[in-house]
Structure 1
């Protein structure tokens, strides 16, 4: 076997340098070079020097020279040391030298050895057992604080290490006593690992002490006298080597670990058999054998004689062969715990110390680290990751659109719009100027969400509890800084906030009264991203059994119809306060419309023109909004179809109007001029009619979309011209005057609604105050009715589920959204739901209301914001009687 090793060994130092030279230095250079992969087992190199020559002087010069990246080393000349030196004294000197930042790289950090050495220097001999323990705890805490300020407790130079260091420093300063006790206990991961190590190593039987403090007490002066001296020395040496092992660990996530390319060297010069140097070599062998662990320390001992453990040295010229044979035999010798297992003894001849010119390395220099471990790389990788995460996050979120851990928030950026849902102030939709009232009502809802959860908790979960999602268009419109562009959405949210408020005002003992949480969701401009929002809501409904339905959807478009189909697939009912496109219910079997369909609106406009205006001819202009088509806009397309069917041959002009198109052909028109388009184009439509001057069209009638325009004081105040306008209202029974009249005749439903909306602590500003203040806004009542229909259905189901057991806790999973929808229809079949904006009744297999009250309101001058509109015509029933047909007020 050894012949084979000799034949296959790598070229020797003499082969590589045929001119001769100091083979000792080349052997040393070979051993200290750390392999790129794995680690080399390092011998305890014992050099028997010749009678003449000073190999120690040569080696000291060799390891002490060089610039830049030098090999970490410590030199100890034992010829100048006092004979009283012992192993602890020598280790203290070695620790001092190796800890210096003098080798062109990050200094070696020691954590275990300094603690063991410090404990050995403490004296508790004059204290009693209790007072000695208290003294040790106090000193240890003080020493730990000083160490923390001098040296980081987490090695390495990674960003994670720095963050952990800062965190530990803050914890130690904030709660030093508690943190110290936790660290010393060794029971918490990442804290107090050095104390945990002492209790797991094998010297001095640490388990006999139960705790680290008991073990530490045994190491102090006086108490240590009862311990075996060799065991104490081995513990110190083992701690010293453990620090070197940890410093030389290689972890793939810390490139700095791979910059240590050379093993540290310990040069012991002037060693004699039996002195402290020889003792240290023997203890190193014992520790390596007994622990079974390798360490990265290369020890070079220069002595005048061979050690008694291995008295037959090999000549230096056979150094390479001797090392290979030693490495081959090491597994067996260390397993047998041979005293010479780690020793490699070489005899130097006088000629081995003569160096020819250029024969050997001028200094012991550490190899260059791999390129990917250079210091710039972690910074470059961190920067790249930061930029990548920043780009990814910028694509999904921004400062006004971001998930928040304090509530149920799921949002993402789509085409610059924040799409998703939120139930807390951590995400408030729409940061555009002029939308303060929209943001304010969202914050009111989120505050009432917290209040509802608190009331539910205090009721011991006895009250029924449901979540409704408001899904609307909360972003996308271009607005002036002083223009409120989301009046409809704000009013619908106010209606849901009013429903929340009414339920919170119920008595705390009313276990049958439900509590309502509202989740606000944004489907983007013209509901174009409603599909993305519904996908998020599907996950919410899966995780939260209290989610029972969706209110809103705002605009009747093909994207809205697609969202309805998706919500139907998910199993969530939809109650739409203002959607009115015909046949929308064909997209979902769980869809319920609160407002009258467009067919009823077209019937009313035709009846008004015939019965009141007494004109036979009609001109209809339709618009669909920016970046939309008639096919995509279901509201406009079905309304135009209804008007075409109702007017028939009397419809003499049906055309599309776009911004910038003139309308001079309508000047002086004596028939009914119908604006069947989106509110966003109504201002431009009025400007085009302004060209008619003193000969405007006689009768201008607008659809219910214009209600958004009329509800916006800023837009109305700057409206062009002085034309009178008649427009469709879906909630005429819920005007301030109508609500006061209902309250006077003791209509509890409308009277309570009036009390809520005029309260000081709900809407801003309060509505219908003493005949003054802003109007209620028709969508407030419609959204309130939609929310309360679901609430009353849930309360009915809860009452039937509980039977006589009124103290039973509410279990949200006892009902499901489809069941609540069925209960809404069951209650409705008994005569309709008595809504604030009029009774709501559904026909068989239909989600459109039957004979729902709608009206035509007139303003004499659009810019006259203070003048209340006057109802001039209406259709449908207010309180549930038979359909009275369309007629003037």
Structure 2
């Protein structure tokens, strides 16, 4: 954006300052990786705006081969309401500040939730803002009514199609069953909203564990009731502001998990460009709340916040003479901030997170500044891409399948079994209980079978008889379990290895086995209690 480069002194150094802090430099992120707040002070902001718009353009490289950096540009210059005089004692945040802060967060989450902003999800932030808008009068049940409100919110989130499908499903069920389903669903939601369920209930668990509002009776419903439309203005506005910003920073932190190979890996931090902040439009309140939350939680959050204002936040003081980018290089500014951040943060100073930068308008006739380089999104490490995840899944499946196949082949060779055929679907993967009493000796299968193992009777001449005996053995087993008829076992002993080229070599053995099958069938047909069942 040539106009921005030529219009402001040190614009290229300001872009370099963003370059130093917008990239993710390692997989596991800690508190020391939290970016600062870059507070650009423009005494002539109203006369010559466009600084942050120029920064936003630098995050959109013209080369299509380079990926744009996700960012959110929020213009607050239309709201020029301000308060006169400096704020030496930091006036307490009031209800109006919270309302303005909520509006600013709404604009920021809307931009960051889009494709250009990074597709971030703001479940906690949206829940807090929704609770601050709903009304739950005390006669309606107070905290117990929160679960009902949450249930209706879930239906509304599902959309008209989802609500219609739920009503249709309930109408299609018998009345008693529909009532049971509704009772189970509402009971599950109550347990989920209690904040005591890990996994799907971790969002509500965060509300129980947060330190920005007193926890009360340690339940989500009670806390949620205290921030509804009729109740939150009775609370400390500063605590409500910290709760809003804490939820916002927590949602951003969720996008940078410490673990999770299949989670999206982000290579940049979310950049929010907040143009024209004042003490009256929520901008100063946002900076104060972000710094307070960081000082209190002392945990990492990825927000890189860059603002413009006419005075230095949060005290609305005139800029210092040595705060311009002409007096220090971007690297020196970041290094100096790192050196003082820890000590100031332990004293819970808001300025611990702020790097004030004075930006002046370039005087007419000055030589043009060198062009600032565009910033682009670094490529995702190959091992964290979708292709790598897909390859890892395929390799894992191939290893499991190959191991299963190899185990089945070894098992077949060792015990004359078949690791890929299961009896009644109850065997473990890769094992074959039907072959437990069979072994291969000198290449010949030797053992005992109830007809299920075809390798003991390899000749095709035995297939029909073997199958018949196996079926009758199953019937015998079932009848013996259901009745008190005694059980006898007949053992057929024979050497039945295939004799190549002699079709009738095993005829005698087959006839003997067929005779046993006939006797077994005859005993099955007799229903008298004293008649024994025969197992071959």
TM-score between the two structures when normalised by the length of structure 2? 0.72
Q: How far is 1:249 from its partner?
A: 2.1
| Residue pairs, 1:625-644, within 5 angstroms | 625-626=497-498
Structure 2 unaligned regions, length at least 5: 1-9, 82-95, 161-180, 428-433, 435-447
Structure 1: state its 5+ residue gaps. 1-19, 151-171, 399-410, 429-441, 443-468, 508-512, 517-550, 553-575, 581-622, 627-657, 661-680, 687-705, 714-730, 737-752, 763-767, 769-775, 785-889
Q: Does 1:577 align with 2:449?
A: no
Verify the 8 A CA contact 1:21 1:355 in the aligned structure 2.
no
Distance verdict in 2 for CA 1:385–1:173, change over 3 Å: farther
State the distance in 2 between where 1:504 and 1:139 align: 55
Q: What are the superposed Cα offsets for residues 428-449 of structure 1, whole Å, 9 maximum, x if unpaired?
A: 9xxxxxxxxxxxxx9xxxxxxx
User: Any idea what the Cα deviations from partners look like across 1:341-378, whole Å, max 9, x if unmatched?
Assistant: 1111122244499895763113x321122122222221
Matched positions, count: 456
**Does 1:709 find its partner at 2:511?**
yes
| 1:758 and 2:503 aligned | no
For 1:352 and 1:474, the matched residues in 2 are separated by: 95
Counterparts in 2 of 1:493 and 1:355: CA distance versus 1, 3 Å = farther
Higher relative contact order at CA 8 Å, sep ≥6: structure 1 or structure 2? 2
Against the structure 1 CA distance between its residues 377 and 659, is the aligned structure 2 distance closer, same or farther, given a 3 Å change threshold? closer
Structure 2 contact 36–304 (Cα < 8 Å) conserved:
yes
The answer to whether the aligner puts 1:179 opposite 2:179 as a matched pair is: no
2:385 alignment partner in structure 1: 374
Distance in structure 2 (CA, Å) of the matches to 1:735 and 1:145:
66
Match among 35, 40, 52 for residue 47 of structure 1: 40
Report the counterpart of residue 504 of structure 2 in structure 1: 683
Do the aligned partners of 2:12 and 2:370 also contact (CA within 8 Å) in 1? no
1:360 maps onto 2:368 in alignment? no
Closer, same or farther: CA 501–271 of 1 in aligned 2, 3 Å: closer
Q: Which residue of structure 1 aligns with residue 20 of structure 2?
A: 30
Following superposition, the deviation at residue 296 of structure 1 comes to: 0.3
Displacement after TM superposition at 1:53 (Å): 4.9
Shift in CA distance, 418/303, structure 1 to aligned 2, threshold 3 Å: same
Cα distance, 1:98 vs structure 2: 0.7
SS in 1 for 2:404: helix
What is the aligned counterpart of 2:209 among 171, 194, 200?
200
Per the alignment, residue 118 of structure 1 pairs with 130
Is 1:387 the counterpart of 2:406? The answer is: no
Q: Per the alignment, do residues 225 and 50 of structure 1 end up closer, same or farther by CA in structure 2, a change over 3 Å counting?
A: closer
The CA distance in 2 between the partners of 1:499 and 1:22, in whole Å, is 87
Q: Secondary structure at the match of 1:75?
A: strand
Contact 1:316 1:352 (C-alpha < 8 Å) held by counterparts: no
Shift of 1:487: 3.4
Question: Which has the larger share of strand?
Answer: 1
Counterpart-to-counterpart distance in 2, 1:659 and 1:262: 73
Deviation at 1:99? Answer: 0.6
Match of 1:322 in 2: 333
Shift of 1:111: 1.4
Structure of greater Rg: 1
State the SS of the aligned residue for 1:268: strand
Query: Offset of 1:57 from its aligned partner?
Result: 4.0
What is the alpha-carbon distance in structure 1 between the residues aligned to residue 102 and residue 57 of structure 2? Answer: 26
Tell me what 1:136 maps to.
146
Relative to structure 1, is the Cα distance of residues 21 and 284 closer, same or farther in structure 2, using a 3 angstrom cutoff? Answer: closer
In 2, Cα distance between equivalents of 1:23 and 1:118: 41
CA distance in 2, matches of 1:320, 1:174: 61
Within 5 Å, which residues of 2 pair with 1:282-431?
282-307=288-313, 309=315, 312=320, 314-317=323-326, 318=328, 319-351=330-362, 356=368, 359-362=371-374, 364-396=375-407, 413-414=412-413, 418-419=417-418, 425-426=424-425
Deviations 1:640-671 (A, max 9, x none): xxxxxxxxxxxxxxxxxx644xxxxxxxxxxx
Q: Secondary structure at the match of 1:271?
A: coil
SS in 2 for 1:301: strand
TM-score, normalised to structure 1, is 0.45
Contact 2:124 2:203 in 1 (8 A): yes
- 3-state DSSP class of the match of 2:249? helix
Q: Deviations over 1:848-871 (max 9, x none)?
A: xxxxxxxxxxxxxxxxxxxxxxxx
* CA displacement at 1:420 relative to structure 2: 7.2
Q: Tell me if the contact between 1:186 and 1:195 (Cα under 8 Å) persists in the aligned partners.
A: yes
1:93 pairs with 107, 120, 128, which one?
107
Are the structure 2 counterparts of residues 327 and 500 from structure 1 closer, same or farther at C-alpha, using a change threshold of 3 Å? same
Aligned CA RMSD, in angstroms, stands at: 4.3
Residues 500 and 62 (structure 1), Cα distance of their counterparts in 2 relative to 1, 3 Å cut: closer
Deviation per CA, 1:287-320: give whole Å up to 9, x if none: 1101112210011111222236586452213132
Question: Displacement, 1:27?
Answer: 1.1
